[in-house]
Structure 1
Amino acid sequence: MTTPTVDVHAHVLLPQIEALVAGLPGHAEAKALDARRNGPDALAVSGPMVRDRIPALTDPAVRLARMDTQGVDVQLVSPSPSHYHYWADADTAEKVYRLADEATAAHCAAAPDRLRGLGLVPLQHPELVVPALDHALEQGLAGVEISSHAPGRELSDPAYEPLWARAEETGAIVFLHPFGCTLDERLDRWYLSNTVGQPTENAVALSHLIFSGVLDRHPGLKIVAAHGGGYLPTHIGRSDHAWRARTDASAGCAELPSSYLRRLYFDSLVHDPRVLRALVEAAGADRVLLGSDFPFDMGSDDPVGALRAAGLPEADFHAVRGANAAALLALSPA
């Protein structure tokens, strides 16, 4: 028996969610903000790109065939982050997360030995996050996907303490995947909204979790950061220096910021073998998981090949290829 190859960063598109929110108060404004953040050139490319990938995003048979081509045995499938809809009121938000959970579970049920799923929680309504997490787990999902912040709230907000406590108690995975960068129109050309925005948002969100003491209070949390955790793991030395040099920086967490990297998980999607090696060095080979961002253009069509290009020791290669995720998801050997 061999350890399965596990891709923890793969998405499903759920058109029924967009049908649910279409025309509701706040939806048009949210779309307009997204358009301003990305800029017209990016939107002109992204529209056809997504349309070309709809079969892989919606049809389990197409997904499985692509997985076979990539040499991936298991995917952890999360809703497209475009489905967060953190602008929605409480009633709509509950409908969104229930529909997302149930539709993702149904998609994964087409091949339960190869597809595991994640649900959504409405971060804009902290009173709903624990019921939403429980609903996802009731559908047989492995946890939930969240963005880097909600309007007016960072992940360090005390209102989210019940979410962290419940996720720790249940062993649920929390997949941190940003959607939208608050640098706004500064990144509206050359697709900077993604290439700079996503790793920035990852770094900010993880820093809030570290410096606020969330990881001290909830050491058993299973947080998986997309995009290799963004800029933070390879620039954590600046955080360590601040923690040593300034009382305001060290007030919230008990240990050096870099020590918390080994309490988090990171996907391998960094697009550079040198950065992947640095991520493994910073976080530990047992804390990095294979990720492809399937099937979007900012992902990797050959995640195993990209991992192999990093030149890791063989034991570390296989840990990242699948052993770490198999343990996290309690998967049986292939």
Structure 2
Amino acid sequence: MTTPTVDVHAHVLLPEVDALVADLPGHAEAKALDTRRNGPASLAVSGPMVAARIPRLTDVGARLAAMDAQGVDIQLVSPSPSHYHPWADEETAEKLYRLANEATAAHCAQAPKQLYGLGLVPLQHPLQAVRALEHALEQGLLGVEISSHAPGRELSDPAYEPLWARAEETGAILFLHPFGCTLDERLDRWYLSNTVGQPTENAVALSHLIFSGVLDRHPELTLIAAHGGGYLPTHIGRSDHAWSVRPDAQSCAREPSSYLRQVYFDSLVHDPHVLRELVRVAGPDRVLLGSDFPFDMGTEDPLGALRAARLSDADFHAVRGGNAAALLPKE
């Protein structure tokens, strides 16, 4: 039986969530921050770009047709990171994650053999994190999508230990996908907020998980890093050097590069040479096909991008779907 082609980086837009937060205190301030971070020129492009993709983001029929055109059999569908809303208070955050989890599950239930879903966790309220994960699993979702940080908290914060422990215990998938970058207005032109900001956030978040010992304490955590893990995998030698010469960087048990083989990475790096390097440093069994469906910073041809890396046949098929299939429920 041929292994299905699995795209682990695909999004759904949830109008129910947008409606929930639209008129709430804090939403306008968050939108203003987003404007400052991205700059007016980028927002002027992003609005029409998203509008043109609404059918593929919301309609299962349009999604399946696009998947068929790409040669993709299965998607792991996560909410648009615009639904994180880290400004939300505890009451709002609980309503938000429950609504997002239920709406994502309902979307995927329309094509249960082809769509598997992830929910959301409000990282700004660590005490809600395990409840949010449990709720997602109760809906039949495979895990949750998380951002690279929350206001005032990094992923190394001890407050998240119960989340890592429960995710490891249940085998839930954690999909690390940043939204926004704390470099703020320094990246407010030329879409640097995304092109530089996202891989920076990935690298910082993963570094917190590695150096803090989270991956020592939770070696069986199923963690997928979007955007190929950002800058970290191709610059991991600098982390290894720091670990070898700096006592203050020796808080993890082994050299940092060794932890890359505990993390899964999507293939969305936009450069075949970088993809080959990612496969080399993380291992061919730790890279998964990812497209960022259907946004413009993704790829319309994820299999073509994978072929361009000129991997061995075995590695190509592992990344194409073999590795991800092992993370999906068995029929």
Q: Which residue of 2 aligns with 1:293?
A: 292
Q: Which residue of 1 aligns with 2:228?
A: 228
Deviations 1:118-153 (A, max 9, x none): 000000000000000000000000000000000000
In 1, the alpha carbon distance for the partners of 2:126 and 2:25 equals 20
Instruction: State whether structure 2 residue 264 is matched by structure 1 residue 265.
Output: yes
TM-score (norm 1): 0.99
Q: Which residue of 1 aligns with 2:144?
A: 144
Shift of the alpha carbon at 1:330?
3.3
Structure 2: tracts of 5 or more residues without a match: none
Q: Which residue of 2 aligns with 1:106?
A: 106
In 1, the alpha carbon distance for the partners of 2:188 and 2:317 equals 39
Alignment of 1:136-285 (within 5 A): 136-250=136-250, 252-285=251-284
Q: Which residue of 2 aligns with 1:72?
A: 72
In 1, the alpha carbon distance for the partners of 2:93 and 2:162 equals 18
Query: Could you say if the C-alpha distance between residues 329 and 222 of structure 1 is closer, same or farther in structure 2, counting changes exceeding 3 Å?
Result: same
Shift of the alpha carbon at 1:202?
0.1
Runs of 4+ in 1 over 4 A off after TM superposition: none
Q: Which residue of 2 aligns with 1:328?
A: 327
TM-score (norm 2): 0.99
Q: CA RMSD in A?
A: 0.5
How many residue pairs align between the two structures? 331
Q: Which residue of 2 aligns with 1:89?
A: 89
In 1, the alpha carbon distance for the partners of 2:144 and 2:67 equals 22
Identity, in percent, stands at 82
Shift of the alpha carbon at 1:165?
0.1
In 2, the alpha carbon distance for the partners of 1:330 and 1:312 equals 27
Between 112-121 and 323-332, report the one with greater CA deviation.
323-332
Shift of the alpha carbon at 1:285?
0.3
Deviations 1:266-308 (A, max 9, x none): 0000000000000000100000000000000000000011001
Structure 1: tracts of 5 or more residues without a match: none
In 2, the alpha carbon distance for the partners of 1:180 and 1:143 equals 22
Deviations 1:152-196 (A, max 9, x none): 000000000000000000000000000010000000000000000
In 1, the alpha carbon distance for the partners of 2:72 and 2:243 equals 40
Name the SS for the 1:328 alignment partner.
Answer: coil
Shift of the alpha carbon at 1:331?
4.6
In 1, the alpha carbon distance for the partners of 2:324 and 2:32 equals 37
Deviations 1:294-323 (A, max 9, x none): 000000000011001100000000000000
Q: Which residue of 2 aligns with 1:6?
A: 6
2:263 is matched by which residue type in structure 1? L
Alignment of 1:7-26 (within 5 A): 7-26=7-26
Shift of the alpha carbon at 1:23?
1.5
2:87 is matched by which residue type in structure 1? W
In 1, the alpha carbon distance for the partners of 2:154 and 2:25 equals 24
In 2, the alpha carbon distance for the partners of 1:325 and 1:142 equals 12
1:106 is matched by which residue type in structure 2? A
Q: Which residue of 2 aligns with 1:124?
A: 124
Query: Could you say if the C-alpha distance between residues 276 and 331 of structure 1 is closer, same or farther in structure 2, counting changes exceeding 3 Å?
Result: farther
